[in-house]
Amino acid sequence: MSHNIEREQPIIVWFRDDFRLQDNPAFDAAVKTGQLIIPVFTLEPKNRWSYGEASKLWLGATLRQLNSDLKVRGSYLVCLKGEPNTLLQFLIEKTNARSIYWNRRYDPSGVSVDKAIFSNLKSRCDIKSFEGRLLSEPTTLKSGGGTPYKVFTPFYKMCLKVGFDIAVSSPPDRIMSPSLLNLGDSLESILPQPQLQWQKVLIKQWSIGERAALKKLDTFISGTLQQYSEGRDFPGRGHISFLSPHLRFGEISIRRVWYEIQCAVELAPQLTACAEAWGRQLFWRDFAYSVLFHFPYTSEKPLRGESNDYLWLDDEGGFISWTQGKTGFPIIDAGMRELWATGFMHNRVRMLVASFLCKHLGVHWLKGAEWFWNTLVDADLASNTFGWQWSAGCGADAAPYFRIFNPVTQSKKFDPEGVYIKRWIPELRHLTSKTIHEPGNEGYMQPIVELSVGRSAALARYARSKC
Ligand SMILES: Cc1cc2nc3c(=O)[nH]c(=O)nc-3n(C[C@H](O)[C@H](O)[C@H](O)COP(=O)(O)OP(=O)(O)OC[C@H]3O[C@@H](n4cnc5c(N)ncnc54)[C@H](O)[C@@H]3O)c2cc1C
């Protein structure tokens, strides 16, 4: 079917971290108009926090999936590389589009790009932005004093009080788009298929895309959700959802997730406590976004503790051992090896490895955040920054500086049988659950730091900085 795009004035739907056709407010609104739709993705020029190495792999795979979901509906994804401002102007000229729809983003770079595009193009086309990423909109939530929240519990209570709309939608069977315009680059040229062995191994472990995300939610709700409250802190058990990369890339709508959980509780009220515990985690994500949105400098500088530079030591050797999972502390090494092999790490272990790096080794939280940024498939500027500042004791609602996780006692508590350690460190599989947590076992590398020494030194540094 061919269309006269001169007359039809199509709508550009600009996909950015919302790679789904279901429950996608910007896309839904465009479909409702009955106009032709031009789905677009732009790979923006590199900036400080452009996609990391692992998330770039995920991005390529999810875009391929989105493109094929569009193709079966008669449409396609226009992929472009460069400054979005220039690219969108070019598209408007070529296609006679009169509207651009997108879902809002909240990271400092995204916010400033979107503001610039809005002021440049608003006279030439109708630009509409939608809420498609969070449960709560950071712009609307303020504490009693009129300032942004810095503590989670009042933020959470306010979110529940204010509530949010949930519009559940399905994509249409056909999506009317202008006939192929030969615009754009091929996806393969801007995001090539994985070439290196580690890339291939890593990406093979995940099912990527909207259908996979919905299936994972379904499996979680009908399976491990009922063990979440009790099991979520035990990395060996897998009683978590593993949804973070899907949420990161917007393959599933967070509001749809919330809706499905409420439906599950209605059908099975015994799930209430676990569903509440899990739902609360979703609001930690919102909270992290709210902090980054209101305090954009936090991606580089701590929210609290003006100048705490002298907290940090220059322990390059320690940092490298940490990245390689060779610190000599089994739970730390297991976490870092899980990260390298899968692009994921369990939340409890993320807290332990981050605390170990910042406190026992005295390495700057930003170095850890950068390593995570490159290796996590769910690398997300809001949650990653938040998690690192929390661990380093200089963020919103952060762990107090004197809370220094002891990796051995934490390991005994949360991986009592050593299941997680044995999964990632084969050379320790012969050890008993009594000995496996300790550093210094025969045949394993020696610990790179004496825990009591690292702890005392950290306390002394933190006391000086009054962080
Ligand atoms: C140092 C550090 C760095 C982190 N970096 C990231 C990151 O880059 N991207 C990321 O998505 N999460 C990050 N987290 C948060 C958390 O570890 C992951 O979201 C979680 O492990 C993902 O597993 P899951 O999907 O099975 O979570 P579940 O336990 O099933 O929770 C459901 C969802 O809630 C959200 N969530 C859960 N815990 C948190 C949390 N503490 N903060 C924010 N959101 C949360 C996630 O979207 C998660 O998918 C980090 C935490 C720490 C301590």
Separation CA 97–CA 8 (nearest Å): 8
131 — pLDDT class (breaks 50, 70, 90):
very high
Select from 314, 404, 328 the least CA-distant residue to 359: 404
**Domain check: are 314 and 456 in the same one?**
yes
Which residues neighbour 339 within 8 Å (Cβ) at sequence distance 6 or greater? 345, 372, 375, 376
The tokens describing 165, both together, are 């709309």
In a domain, 397, yes or no: yes
Q: What is the pLDDT of residues 308-348, one digit of tens each?
A: 666 799 999 999 999 999 999 999 999 999 999 999 999 99
Separation CA 233–CA 224 (nearest Å): 13
Q: What is the pLDDT of residues 202-247, one digit of tens each?
A: 999 999 999 999 999 999 999 999 999 999 999 999 999 999 999 9
Q: At what angle do helices 197-204 and 53-71 cross, to 10 degrees?
A: 60
pLDDT of 370 over the 70 cut: yes
Look up residue 361 and give its DSSP letter.
Answer: S
Mean pLDDT for the stretch of residues 408-423: 98
**Domain check: are 268 and 325 in the same one?**
no
**CA 238 to centroid of ligand 1, rounded, Å:** 14
Separation CA 389–CA 224 (nearest Å): 30
**CA 379 to centroid of ligand 1, rounded, Å:** 9
375 — pLDDT class (breaks 50, 70, 90):
very high
Q: Which domain holds residue 431?
A: 309-460
Domain tally for the chain? 3
**Domain check: are 145 and 51 in the same one?**
no
**Domain check: are 328 and 264 in the same one?**
no
89: amino acid identity, one letter: Q
pLDDT of 2 over the 50 cut: no
**Domain check: are 288 and 145 in the same one?**
yes
In a domain, 151, yes or no: yes
pLDDT of 426 over the 60 cut: yes
Asked if 143 contacts 149 with a C-beta cutoff of 8 angstroms, the reply is yes
**Domain check: are 333 and 387 in the same one?**
yes
**Domain check: are 77 and 123 in the same one?**
yes
The tokens describing 456, both together, are 């005392």
**Domain check: are 257 and 339 in the same one?**
no
**Domain check: are 121 and 270 in the same one?**
no
CATH of the domain at 108: 3.40.50.620
**Domain check: are 390 and 264 in the same one?**
no
Separation CA 41–CA 156 (nearest Å): 33
Q: Which of 285, 345, 377 to mutate to test the pocket of ligand 1 (most atoms within 8 A of CB)?
A: 285
In degrees and rounded to multiples of 5, residue 455 shows phi and psi of: -65, -50
In a domain, 109, yes or no: yes
In degrees and rounded to multiples of 5, residue 323 shows phi and psi of: -60, -30
Q: Return the bridge partners of 102, or none.
A: 14, 129
Q: What is the pLDDT of residues 99-118, one digit of tens each?
A: 999 999 999 999 999 999 99
Asked if 17 contacts 253 with a C-beta cutoff of 8 angstroms, the reply is no
Q: List, chain by chain if needed, residues with CB within 6 Å of any ligand 1 atom.
A: 232, 240-244, 247-248, 281-282, 284-285, 288, 347, 350-351, 354, 372, 376, 378-380, 383-384, 386-388, 391
Separation CA 189–CA 3 (nearest Å): 28
> Which of ligand 1's atoms lies nearest the C-alpha of 288?
43
Separation CA 142–CA 397 (nearest Å): 16
**Domain check: are 287 and 138 in the same one?**
yes
Q: Return the bridge partners of 103, or none.
A: 130
> Using CA atoms in the order 9, 15, 20, 26, what is the torsion angle rounded to 10 degrees?
-50
**Domain check: are 204 and 144 in the same one?**
yes
The pTM (predicted TM-score) of the whole model is: 0.96
